[in-house]
Structure 1
Amino acid sequence: MAGLLGFSRHVMAGMARVPARHHELLIEKLDDIVEGRCDRLMVQMPPGSAKSTYGSILFPAYFLSRHKKSQIIATAHTASLADYFGRHVRKTIAEHGERLGLTLAKESRASPKFALEEGGEYFAAGVRGPITGRRADLIIIDDPIKSWAEAESQTFRDALYDWYRAELSARLKPGGRLMLIMTRWHEDDLAGRLMAAEPAWECLRLPAVAERDDAMGRAAGQVLWPEWQDEAAMLRRRQEVGERAFAAMYQQRPRPPDAALFKADAIRILAEAPVMVRTVRAWDLAASLPGIGRNPDYSVGLKLGLAADGLLVVLDVIRFQGSPAQVEARIHAAAKADGVNTLLALPQDPGQAGAAQVAMLTRSLTGFQVVASPETGAKVMRAMPAAAQVDAGRLALLAAPWNENFLSEITAFPDSRKDDQVDALSRAVNTLATTSSQTARRVNVPLLGR
C-alpha cells in the first residue's frame, strides 16, 4: 500500500485531487503515530487546510488497517461533526476495504460508530459527550472549539480541559496514542494548556503565512496552500477577519486584544548556543497542584546566558505545577545540572515567612551562588528591561520544545492568563543587569547595558 501517503494518493486520485506539500508533511507525522514513533501529536493548521480530511478521515481508516483489533475514539466539538467524520471513515473503509484488508461488520454498515469483522472498533462522540465504558488505542480530538464565544469563555476552557484530563484521556489504554487537530483560538485553549502542561506532545504548527524557521522550509511570507488560497486571497482574508483573529486562527499564534509588550518577531531561534560568559537560572515559584476546576500558577526556572557580544540567550525553561516539596526538589536538580558557575536568582515573598523560605533554600544550596530579592512594582514595569532587549534584537532562544509555549506566553503578555515565564525572564534579565561580576563567581565581564 506504500504507507499512508500511498493510500492517501489513491483515495484522493478518485476525486481528481492530490495531497499538497503540507498534507505530505502531515501524513509523515501521522505515519509516526501508526508506527509507534510518536504517541502524542498536536496538529495546528488554519481553516480550510484540509487537515481533517487527512487526519480524521483517511488516517483512522489506515490506522485500523495496520492495527486491525484496535479501538478508536474520535471526538469533535459537536456530536454531529463527530458523526460526520465517522460516516466518512466508514465510507472510506467500505469503498477501499479490499485495499485496506478490512471488512465492516454487518450491523455497522449504516452507523458512524462501527465495528470491523477483524475486531477493530470506531466510536464517535462530541466534546464532553458520553464515552464511559469505552477504551481506546487511539484518541483523535478534532476541533474541540466551535466558536469565539466558547474560546473567550474561561468557564468553557476550564470545563473542556477538565473533561480531557478526567474523562477522555482516562479512556486511553496503556501504550495508547493521542492526536489533537485544531485551529488555535485563544492562548489558553486546549492546545495552549497541553503544550504548557505536557511537554511530551509533538507539535506540527503550519501557519497560513510562513514565518522564520518554517516547518515546511517556506520563505517568510509564502502562503500555505497557494493552489487553494494565493497571497492575494490570504491578504483579503486577513483584512476581513482582523489581526487578532488572523493571528490565532490563521497563524496559530493567538494573542489578547491589546498590543503585546514583547515583539516576539524580533527573537531569533538558535540551533546552537554561543559561548556564555555569564549564566543565571531565575525562578518564579508556585506551590500548588492542579485539580478539577483548578489550574494554579506554574513554577518556572529560566536559564539565561550572556554572550561576549551582549546577546542574551534563553538556554532552558523548566515549567511545572507541583507541591512545595516538588518545587524544592526541582530547584536542587536544576542547580546540580547547571553547575556552580550558574547564579541562582530566587524571589522572596514579603514578610518573615518569605525570608525563612529563602534562608532554608540557600542553606540547602551550599556551594552555589544564590541571590534573592522581593518582587517590587507592577509586572509590566519589571518586564520592561527584558522587553527592551527584545526590541533591540538582543534576545534569542536556544531551539527546544519549550520555545513555542514560551513565545505564546510573552506575545500575549500582559493580558495572558499565565505569566510565570515572563516573571522568570524579567528576574533573569534584571539579575544579570544588577549583580556584580564577583557575585557571579568572579567572571570578569561588564554588566549588561554598559
Structure 2
Amino acid sequence: MADAAVLERPEVAAGPPAPDPVQVLVELARTNFAAFVSATHRPRFKHSGFSLRVCRAIDQFVEDVLAGKRPVLVLTAPPQHGKSSLISRCLPPYLFGRLTGELPAVRIASASYAHALAQRNRRDAQNIMLEPIYREIFPEVSLIGFKGIDNASEGLEVPGEGWLRGVGVGGPLTGFSVDIGLIDDAVKNAQEALSELTQQTHRDWYDAVFTTRLQARSGTVIIGTPWSANDLLAYVRKTMKGDSRLTVLSFAALNLPDEIGYNPDLPAGALVPHLHDETKLRELKLHMSLMWWASMYQQSPLADVGAIFKRDCVRYYRRADLANLRFVQEVISVDATFKDGAASDFVAAGVWAKTTENDVYLLTGRREQLAFMATAQAIADLKRKHPRALKIFIEEAANGAALIDMLRKHYPGIVGVPPLGSKESRWHAVSWAWANGQVYLPHPEEAPWIVPWVAEITTVPDAKNDDTADCMAIALQQLLLRTPISQLITQDILRAAG
C-alpha cells in the first residue's frame, strides 16, 4: 500500500529551465567590459582584482564619453600584467559595440611607440570582431561578411562609418577626426625614456597632433609603464592636475607597506599572483636598480637627476684583505677623452678583478688629463703591471676608436665598447651591484687617488666630470652581466617579467 501511495503522489511541477550561461554572458557583455573580455579574449582571460578594477574604470569611461565629459583615463601598471590585452586588444571592439549609434561615428586612433606594434594591436582587435561570439554580442558592428577598407595606411573600416587606425607615437593623423584616442606604451625602452629629445618630441606630438584631432564627444585612454618622471604619462598627469576629466589608476607590482608606491586602498601583496607571485617579484628586485624597480614595477618614477651610486653604499678594502680573496677574472676598462688643456675631460682607466663571490675590486686606477700618446702609455703601464688582465675594454666614443686601432697592433684582447644608450641608462643598468655592496674600492688611507673617484661616482649625473663612473660601468658590465648592455637596457628587465 505504501508503494501504491508513492506512485499515486502527484508530480511536482518542474521549475523554469536553467538559463544558458553563454547567453547570460553575451547579454552581460553588451554593457560590462569585464564580461566582454571573458567572452571574447583568446586564450581565455583569467581575471584578477587588478583587471576587474580596470574594467570598472572603462565602463565609467564609456559613460563619461556618452555624457560629453571628454574623459582622460591614465593607467600605469607593471610590464606583463595584462594591461595591453585589456586596452589595446579588447577595448576597441567593445567601444565600437557600445558607442555605435550613440555617436555620429566611432573613430578610434590607437598609438604605440612603433607603427608595427600599433598595426598588430589593430589586427588583434579585428580578429575579435570576426568571431561568432562577437556577432552575438554586437551584431551591428560585426565584421563577418563586411567588405570594408582594411589596410595599414587607412586603417580598418567598421560598420556604421567607424574605423580603427594604428599609428606610431609621433606619426601623422592629418585629415582624421578622432572620437577615442588610445596610447599604449609611448616609449620603446630605457634609452628613449631617459632621452630629453624623445620626451620633448612626445610632448609636442601629444599637444600638436593627438589632442587636436579629438572631437567634441571624445575620450582618451593612455596606458603604459612609467619609465621616467618626465615621460608622456607624467606630462599628462602634470598638465591635467586638478582637471575633473582626469582619472589616474596606478598599480604597484608589490603592494606592501615597506615598498615604494604602496597604496593602502588596494589589496596587499602581488598585483596579479597567478602571473607574478611575491617570490618572483622579490627576485626581480634583487637584480634591478632602485630607479627601474620604483618606476617600472612600483609605478613611482624617481627624478631623473640625483645620485645614482649612493655614497652610503661605498665599500672599501685594505691591501691586507686581498690575501684572503681568490680572483677569477681581471680586466682593464678605459674611458678615454684625451685633449690637452685644463678644462678638458679626464682619461679614467682601472684594473678590476672579480672574486668567486661575484664581488668586484678596483685594484688600481688612473684619472688624469692625458694626450693621445700619454693615454696609450698609461694603458700599457697598467697592462704590464697586471698581466692577468687578459682583456682591455675601451669605450669607442670620442677618441676611443683611434686608440683602439693603435693598441690592437701591439696587444691582444683589445675590445671596443660602443656607448649604447644614454650615460644614465648605462649607469642605472649596473647600479644594482653598487647598491648591493658588490663593488670594493681601495681605502683612501692607502690609496689617496681614490678620493676624486668616489666624489665623482657618487654625484653623477650632476658631477662636473663623469669619466670614472663610465670606467666603472664598463667594467661592471663585462664582469657581472651575462648579456650585452644593449639588451639589458632595452629588453632584459621586461623579458625577466615574462
TM tier, smaller: 0.5 to 0.7
Q: Which amino acid aligns with 1:62?
A: Y
Counterparts of 1:257 and 1:209, CA distance in 2: 25
What is the deviation of 1:117? Answer: 2.1
Q: In the alignment, which residue of structure 1 is the partner of 2:250?
A: 205
Match of 2:189 among 118, 132, 147: 147
**Could you tell me which residue of structure 2 aligns to residue 187 of structure 1?**
229
Following superposition, the deviation at residue 15 of structure 1 comes to 2.1
Q: What SS is found at the alignment partner of 2:287?
A: helix
2:300 is aligned with 1:253: yes
What residue ranges of structure 2 are gaps of 5+ in the alignment? 1-26, 309-459, 463-498
Distance 2:177 2:109 in 1: 8
Say yes or no: does 1:224 pair with 2:271: yes
Give the superposition deviation at 1:211.
Answer: 4.5
After superposing on structure 2, the runs of 4+ consecutive aligned residues of structure 1 that deviate more than 3 Å are 107-112, 256-260
Residue 19 of structure 1 aligns with which residue? 47
Q: Matched residue of 1:46: which SS? A: coil
User: Could you say what secondary structure the match of 1:56 adopts?
Assistant: helix
Alpha-carbon distance in 1 for matches of 2:256, 2:211: 33
Q: Residue 241 of structure 1 aligns to a residue in which SS? A: coil
Change (3 A) 1:152 1:43: same
Counterpart in the other structure of 1:407: none
2:142 to 96, 103, 108: 103
Where do 1:64-83 residues align within 5 Å?
A: 64-68=96-100, 69-83=105-119
Aligned CA distance change for structure 1 residues 196 and 415 (closer, same or farther; 3 Å): farther
Distance 1:23 1:241 in 2: 26
Residue type at the aligned position of 1:40: V
Q: Which moved more, 1:32-41 or 1:65-74?
A: 32-41
Any unmatched runs of 5+ in structure 1?
Answer: 261-413, 417-450
Whether 1:28 and 2:66 are equivalent positions in the alignment is no
Deviation, 1:118, is: 2.2
Which amino acid in 1 is paired with 2:142?
Answer: T
What letter matches 1:236 in structure 2? E
Letter paired with 1:108: I
Count of residues in correspondence between the two structures: 260
Q: What is the CA–CA distance in structure 2 between the aligned matches of 1:259 and 1:225, rounded to whole Å?
A: 32
Query: Could you tell me which of 45, 51, 66 is aligned with 2:77?
Result: 45
Alignment of 1:375-390 (within 5 A): none
- Distance in 2 (CA, whole Å) between partners of 1:21 and 1:258 is 36
> Which amino acid in 2 is paired with 1:218?
P
1:60 and 2:98 correspond: no
- Separation in 2 of the partners of 1:55 and 1:415? 36
1:238-261: CA deviation from partner (whole Å, max 9, x where unpaired): 12232211111111111136459x
C-alpha offsets along residues 246-286 of structure 1, whole Å, 9 cap, x if unaligned?
Answer: 111111111136459xxxxxxxxxxxxxxxxxxxxxxxxxx
- Root mean square deviation of aligned Cα: 2.3
| Partner residue in 1 for 2:155 | 113
Identity of aligned residues (%): 23
Instruction: Note closer, same or farther for the CA distance 1:60–1:230 as it changes in structure 2 (3 Å cut).
Output: same
d(CA) in 2 for partners of 1:133, 1:9: 36
The superposition leaves residues 336-395 of structure 1 with CA deviations (integer Å, 9 ceiling, x where unpaired) of xxxxxxxxxxxxxxxxxxxxxxxxxxxxxxxxxxxxxxxxxxxxxxxxxxxxxxxxxxxx
- Distance in 2, matches of 1:186 and 1:228, equals 25
Alignment of 1:157-168 (within 5 A): 157-168=199-210
Structure index of larger Rg: 2
Structure 2 counterparts to residues 279-294 of structure 1, below 5 A: none
